[in-house]
């Protein structure tokens, strides 16, 4: 096949793929800018004829979902920081200290098994435990559950990052008189900052989008997260489409902005350790 034909076919496939993935997001944004009259018109439109931000005002102000948005930010950031801290505490001795292969494999396989566990399989036990300890309808319960479920992802990502940092760099600092803590703080931590940032953004994205546990473990706006609030727009009598579209757009914006602002670090972190010397 001639090169020009291959290039044209590749470009055509890529354009189709972009349209398939981008069109739903575009239509979501367009729907959030439509009036109710235009939304329920007989002929759907791809461009809002009279753009309005009324659905955004309705979601954030009238319906008071700005508080739910704050809950999502607090729960997501807290769970991300906690998951990274615990994961670093687990992966540091696994990658930097002389630990037996059996123990190392057991810890990593245990973490992996947690990731493959379906959330629906443990939601009832978690609900019972949370009710028993008095954390029902409180943000600390969500933070702990989010941390537990995203800990395996953080462990495996940080493991890959730390394994790629030469152990000799840290040993050189110890030879120069640095303590283990100082070598960790001044040598290893700065070198691992890219991996921490990449893992943090990905873990936060999972925390931000979580729905099942937030739906089961909360009951009032005091602890509800934003995805649960958006789901509440599906009522017994109607589905408030433009408000749902506005809520979906808001929910997409924050992780998307994080990914765009830190895309270089995320891509570096995701490809860290892909190429290895033989």
pLDDT tens-digit map of 28-60: 888 888 888 888 777 778 888 888 888 899 888
Longest CA span, the chain: 77
Instruction: Considering the chain, tell me which residue range(s) the CATH 1.10.3720.10 domain(s) occupy.
Output: 55-270
pLDDT digits (tens, 9 = 90+) for 133-183: 988 999 999 999 999 989 988 988 888 888 888 888 888 888 888 888 888
Q: Give the span between the Cα atoms of 39 and 29, in whole angstroms.
A: 13
> How much is the mean pLDDT over the chain?
85
Residue 198 in this model has a pLDDT that exceeds 90: no
Please answer whether residues 59 and 246 qualify as being in contact, where contact means their C-beta atoms are separated by less than 8 angstroms.
Answer: yes
Q: Give the span between the Cα atoms of 58 and 217, in whole angstroms.
A: 26
pLDDT digits (tens, 9 = 90+) for 4-37: 878 888 888 999 998 888 888 888 888 888 888 8
Residue with more model confidence, 165 or 1: 165
- For residues 232-240, give the mean pLDDT: 79
Confidence grade of residue 116 (pLDDT, cut at 50, 70, 90): confident
Residue 277, pLDDT score: 46
- DSSP code per residue over the chain: --HHHHHHHHHHHHHHHHHHHHHHHHHHHHHHTS-HHHHT-SS--SS-SS---HHHHIIIIIS-THHHHHHHHHHHHHHHHHHHHHHHHHHHHHHHS---HHHHHHHHHHHHHHHHS-HHHHHHHHHHHHHHTT-TTSHHHHHHHHHHHHHHHHHHHHHHHHHTS-HHHHHHHHHTT--HHHHIIIIIHHHTHHHHHHHHHHHHHHHHH--HHHHHH--STTT--HHHHHHTTB-SS-B-HHHHHHHHHHHHHHHHHHHHHTHHHHHHHHTTTSS---
Please answer whether residues 115 and 153 qualify as being in contact, where contact means their C-beta atoms are separated by less than 8 angstroms.
Answer: yes
Fold exhibited by the domain 55-270: MetI-like fold (1.10.3720)
Q: What percent of the chain has pLDDT over 70?
A: 95
Residue 143, pLDDT score: 94
Beta bridge partners of 239: 234
Confidence grade of residue 270 (pLDDT, cut at 50, 70, 90): low
Q: Give the span between the Cα atoms of 170 and 208, in whole angstroms.
A: 35
Residue 73, pLDDT score: 93
Q: Give the span between the Cα atoms of 79 and 206, in whole angstroms.
A: 10
Please answer whether residues 159 and 94 qualify as being in contact, where contact means their C-beta atoms are separated by less than 8 angstroms.
Answer: yes
Residue with more model confidence, 43 or 211: 211
Mean pLDDT lowest among 76-85, 182-191, 231-240, 260-269:
260-269
């Amino acid at each position: 096949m001639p090169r020009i034909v291959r290039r044209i076919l590749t470009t055509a496939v890529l354009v189709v793929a972009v349209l398939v993935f981008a069109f739903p997001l575009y239509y979501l944004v367009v729907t959030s800018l439509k009036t109710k009259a235009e939304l329920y018109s007989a002929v759907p439109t791809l461009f809002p004829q009279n753009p309005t931000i009324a659905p955004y005002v309705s979601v954030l102000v009238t319906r008071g979902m700005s508080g739910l948005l704050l809950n999502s930010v607090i729960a997501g950031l807290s769970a991300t920081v906690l998951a990274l801290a615990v994961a670093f505490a687990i992966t540091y001795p696994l990658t930097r200290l002389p630990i037996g292969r059996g123990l190392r494999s057991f810890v990593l396989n245990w973490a992996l098994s947690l990731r493959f566990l379906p959330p629906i399989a443990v939601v009832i036990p978690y609900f019972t435990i949370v009710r028993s300890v008095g954390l029902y309808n409180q943000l600390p319960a969500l933070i702990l559950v989010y941390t537990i479920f995203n800990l395996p992802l953080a462990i495996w990502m940080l493991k890959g990052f730390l394994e790629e940092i030469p152990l000799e760099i840290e040993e050189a600092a110890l030879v120069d008189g640095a303590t283990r803590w100082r070598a960790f703080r001044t040598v290893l931590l700065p070198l691992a900052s890219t991996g921490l940032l990449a893992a943090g953004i990905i873990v936060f994205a999972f925390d931000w989008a979580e729905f099942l546990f937030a739906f089961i473990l909360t009951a009032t706006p005091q602890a509800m997260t934003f995805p649960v609030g958006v789901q509440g727009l599906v009522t017994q009598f109607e589905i408030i489409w433009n408000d749902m579209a506005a809520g979906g757009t808001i929910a997409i914006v924050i992780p998307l902005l994080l990914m765009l602002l830190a895309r270089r670090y995320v891509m570096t972190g995701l490809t860290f350790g892909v190429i290895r010397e033989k």
